[in-house]
Amino acid sequence: MILTELLGSHLLSSIIAVVATVVLFQFITMLQRKFNVIWLQPMLLSILVIIALILWQDISFDSYFSSSWLLNALLEPAVVILGFPLYQHLETITKQWKSILLILSIGALIAIISSFIITMLIIGDYTIAVALSLKSITTPIAIAIAGQLDGNTAITAFAVMLAGIFGALIGPRWLTYIKVRSPKAQGLAIGAASHAIGTATVSNISYEHAAFGSLALIVSAVITALTSPFIISFLAALL
């Protein structure tokens, strides 16, 4: 009787949603490793397949989201795990912290300013300009800042996800193509531009990539959180 009630409750739908999502992701990961094709990006294809399935079965996003609560609960410890490679290379980082901080500060400022100005010139919508100017930091911080600045939080979330997937897809290959082969430089670039998704992807290359990607992710988020409200307000007044 108890088992029947459990299987007919929210527990069964949660188990199905979590297991199906994990199996799908692992299957695409296996295909990517086997064929080594750039477009077989597990995060991107998993999202597309899940969207197709819930539309096909007429399942609301809220239902899927509530059923997959366990995966969402694991996001925070998953991000914390990225700090382990950072600890392993802490000695190297402390020796070069001034250069790293300067590079990431310049990168964060350029990302905010260029995205905001270009969006305002082409689209002319302040809410979208705010959303796109915050695309290179982790989702919770980007959404919080966008909300404070009256930006479009839905577009912010989409832009962050797109930046992460784009960096994960072509970031390492593009950097190698333009002769940027240093694991430190690649890690900093991907972490600063493509946050957690990009960092998780380059962490498969080496622990050094993961360490500097995690560092860039954290520092860029802090710099953006501290400076973006002032920069965006200033640019909005000018434009």
For the segment 146-164, the average pLDDT, to the nearest whole number, is 89
- Percent of the chain's residues with pLDDT above 90: 30
pLDDT at 8: 45
pLDDT at 15: 77
Average pLDDT, the chain: 84
By the 8 A CB rule, do 236 and 119 touch? no
- Percent of the chain's residues with pLDDT above 70: 92
Q: Which two tokens stand for residue 92?
A: 């190297």
Work out the pLDDT band at 162, boundaries 50, 70, 90.
Answer: confident
pLDDT at 7: 38
For the segment 178-205, the average pLDDT, to the nearest whole number, is 87
pLDDT at 216: 92
Work out the pLDDT band at 4, boundaries 50, 70, 90.
Answer: very low
pLDDT at 58: 84
Residue 201 pLDDT > 90? no
Q: What is the 3-state secondary structure (H, E, C) of the chain?
A: CHHHHHHCCHHHHHHHHHHHHHHHHHHHHHHHHHHCCCCCCHHHHHHHHHHHHHHHCCCCHHHHHHHCHHHHHCHHHHHHHCHHHHHHCHHHHHHCHHHHHHHHHHHHHHHHHHHHHHHHHHCCCHHHHHHHHCCCCCHHHHHHHHHHCCCCHHHHHHHHHHHHHHHHHHHHHHHHHCCCCCHHHHHHHHHHHHHHHHHHHHCCCCHHHHHHHHHHHHHHHHHHHHHHHHHHHHHHHHC
CA 197 to CA 203: how far, in whole Å?
10
pLDDT at 107: 92
204 or 237: which leads in pLDDT: 237
Residue 122 pLDDT > 80? yes
Work out the pLDDT band at 170, boundaries 50, 70, 90.
Answer: confident
By the 8 A CB rule, do 126 and 235 touch? no
User: Residue length, the chain?
Assistant: 239
Q: Which two tokens stand for residue 91?
A: 């000695």
| Nearest CA-CA partner of 141 in 213, 39, 215, 219 | 219
| Nearest CA-CA partner of 214 in 190, 235, 233 | 190
Residue 100 pLDDT > 70? yes
